[in-house]
Structure 1
């Protein structure tokens, strides 16, 4: 088995999640967790190849691996399922893989999909040979040999819990990906969040310590070499980017001493990164920040568990947005249409955003989706009825692992989906959208001319931005 190249595959999608968006299928989402595991295996001397399913046909991906000499004999194929939306793609891939080679062994992971319930995942993908729970950096080498599987904890073959360990942030070897030049790089800098937002899967997962600043700068220098100082943007991966002041000082000093000029992006809450901290980081490459505002409605913020002090929260958000503008940082604001949303609560959010529009580069709007199959997920779904929200399909959570929602009697699921496009057009021009998407999501080869040609061939309702400048307003219903 030692001479057989090992395949690490990130399951793709059979269709974009935002199917009406003409650019959704161009987004590239780097599976940095899978790449980290593959990099660890490669450093042990094994031949490794990492493949992203993207929107390719899963059967075609499988056939390419087979033709390249992978997935043969009983050599394990490592499959990452990053989202429940990737399950249909993964099922087709595994079916084809076993048809090509019935002896192939498929090891699947994806902590938000597995959720310690291998039986449910196997009901969707019966071809799996092992389901691995949680993260796997401390187990990946043992997983290479099927003989070890019964003795490796926290899988569906040996479900014992793992002891809590400091997160491992393996160095990523992008050259393991045949198409790495299409992708902008990522760099994991922390894990967890623990801030308690009701809609978040990491609401109770403690925030880890930051990756050492010197280590982050070393990785950035390697990306400069990898792309020969070509155009790229690095995403600092962290569910909640919250660097303490000493880390910011250390990072800024190391960045300057290394002579770096590369730019990077992060995601954080609007009330956690201080204006002073943002300003300092802007001088050390920070160019785009994804800000989890979610809402500017006082009652909606409290329903989400986002804050108990909405006025203070919004004042901090305002101060941070103003500093973004002053420091030359593009602010992309995340908005969540939540349970109990009405035309009045939505108007509060839109009015607030409009009053800050000069500081905002763009918005990302999503209606609430409930994830999970555990009793706590079902309990959460039931609790939303208090706000007038109901699932579109009452069986969906247990069957699919997610449930779309009618947010309230006045904003059903269809209306919430329509609002996504309307609100985006209010706060994003075509140039805004391109700039934000090119930085870490669009393929590195997509220049603005290519983007504009695609946009010109689309109907306006297929575009998540305005081609004539930001739209002034939308009608969201009568005032109370």
Structure 2
């Protein structure tokens, strides 16, 4: 039987400064999912909030005590590369007999050559990790004989084995397997895959499949026994699509005194009046919405919707209904290649008019991550959208985007921050952030955070100044 260590590396930097400032720990549900299937073979180690010497000592101790034969490093994004590569070097130096593999299907496969050439990878897993470990542990296959792996043969040639045509059912998590699990927001994975194909998205495309509602309810009961009855979970999914029938089933299970609540993410089109009311009755208290822009031309450019006018109307109605119901919506806003003062103003005005001092948003400029359509996306940015890309310091895997000759990446970052400081208060932003993003008992006070990095205003004078600065920037580009 294999003795396996799965590691969640810490982030060296963040897409948004506010995430680094808040610095909350996030459970790696990918490695928890694998461990939940094979608890006798797998140990989890999480690096968050630990310095390198502590990480080195603790990993070395686990490898010695558990007689670890295989280490899997979860590399789900470029933000964790620095820590991941440090860990790989330590293991390679101190335990050369231990094999190192990398997983994280939306990132690791796209940098597989570097992982194999430079960072001591025995193999890179390009599909779902549960499938790989099922073949390794249950079907007793060798690493390089498993479907869906990338490796180098004895001649140095990179080989990719065929993907497995089948899927494993979405596992239920055993949170007790995660070190210090009460320090993290508990999660229930309700679906995988996304049927949409937004131009900027780097998700490894797969057909959406969903967990049965009875299984979701069973997991809620297990979480109550672990975390108590008053907590907020995150329903993990690229795109929440539970039907009316399924929501009604959760509502029927959830009695009126039930204090269990949850958060998830979905698209604008899902947020009908009926769905909003059912979501709240089922325990949803905050929803992340992939809205992206209030500019008709930008929405078309993103390939976000084929009916942008209807799309904006539905978002406006959803914000109003959700505010009446008590369901907070947090809109994701993406500053896209080809933005102009006019398109940015369209989005700004929509936010000003429709957040109703209740909802919130998060704005940031588009970036390029390795993915199935990234090369195509880069070519369109340069040839059609009037933008440019360049490698971002911190990882050669990430490219920043100059949105246009007038809006470089740094200016786009400033505009994104000013949008927040102009149109949402600290209460609007922090109230939703506490729901399903931060573990129970985590103290979040804006007074202890660096105000210059926060996407909200803390006073009317700060709000006024931000709006004036934003207006001056947009006017200066005309």
Q: CA deviation at 1:438?
A: 2.2
Q: Select which of 25, 30, 35 maps to 1:33.
A: 30
**1:159 matched residue in structure 2:** 160
Q: CA deviation at 1:76?
A: 1.0
Q: Select which of 435, 445, 448 maps to 1:454.
A: 448
**1:21 matched residue in structure 2:** 18
- Residues 333, 360 of structure 1: 8 Å contact kept: no
CA distances 1:172-222 after superposition (whole Å, capped 9, x unpaired): 1111122211111111111122222110124853322x3111111111111
What RMSD, in angstroms, separates the aligned Cα atoms of the two structures?
2.6
CA distance in 2, matches of 1:138, 1:437: 34
DSSP 3-state at the match of 1:471: helix
Residue 12 to residue 23, structure 1, CA distance change in 2 (3 Å): closer
Residue 38 to residue 69, structure 1, CA distance change in 2 (3 Å): same
CA distance in 2, matches of 1:22, 1:336: 16
DSSP 3-state at the match of 1:106: strand
Residue 356 to residue 25, structure 1, CA distance change in 2 (3 Å): closer
DSSP 3-state at the match of 1:408: coil
- Residues 241, 266 of structure 1: 8 Å contact kept: yes
- Residues 425, 456 of structure 2: 8 Å contact kept: yes
CA distance in 2, matches of 1:88, 1:214: 41
Q: CA deviation at 1:353?
A: 1.1
- Residues 263, 286 of structure 2: 8 Å contact kept: yes
1:464 aligns with 2:460: no
CA distances 1:20-39 after superposition (whole Å, capped 9, x unpaired): 43853513222111101011
**1:66 matched residue in structure 2:** 60
- Residues 360, 427 of structure 1: 8 Å contact kept: no
Q: CA deviation at 1:15?
A: 2.9
**1:206 matched residue in structure 2:** 207
CA distances 1:16-64 after superposition (whole Å, capped 9, x unpaired): 333x43853513222111101011111xx33x43222224334422321
DSSP 3-state at the match of 1:112: coil
1:139 aligns with 2:132: yes
DSSP 3-state at the match of 1:199: coil
- Residues 32, 186 of structure 1: 8 Å contact kept: yes
Q: CA deviation at 1:387?
A: 1.5
- Residues 198, 305 of structure 1: 8 Å contact kept: yes
**2:155 matched residue in structure 1:** none
TM-score, length basis structure 2: 0.89
TM-score, length basis structure 1: 0.88
Q: Select which of 308, 311, 315 maps to 1:310.
A: 308
DSSP 3-state at the match of 1:282: helix
Residue 164 to residue 248, structure 1, CA distance change in 2 (3 Å): farther
Residue segments in structure 1 that go unaligned for 5+ positions in a row: none
Q: What is the aligned length? A: 461
1:110 aligns with 2:108: no
**1:324 matched residue in structure 2:** 322
**1:225 matched residue in structure 2:** 225
Residue 390 to residue 383, structure 1, CA distance change in 2 (3 Å): same
1:195 aligns with 2:196: yes
Q: How does 1:232-247 map to 2 (within 5 A)?
A: 232-247=231-246
Q: CA deviation at 1:442?
A: 2.9
- Residues 217, 255 of structure 1: 8 Å contact kept: no
CA distance in 1, matches of 2:304, 2:64: 47
CA distance in 1, matches of 2:19, 2:191: 33
- Residues 105, 128 of structure 1: 8 Å contact kept: yes
Residue segments in structure 2 that go unaligned for 5+ positions in a row: 152-158
CA distance in 1, matches of 2:254, 2:262: 12
CA distances 1:309-338 after superposition (whole Å, capped 9, x unpaired): 111001111111112111111111110000
Q: CA deviation at 1:263?
A: 0.7
CA distance in 1, matches of 2:25, 2:453: 19
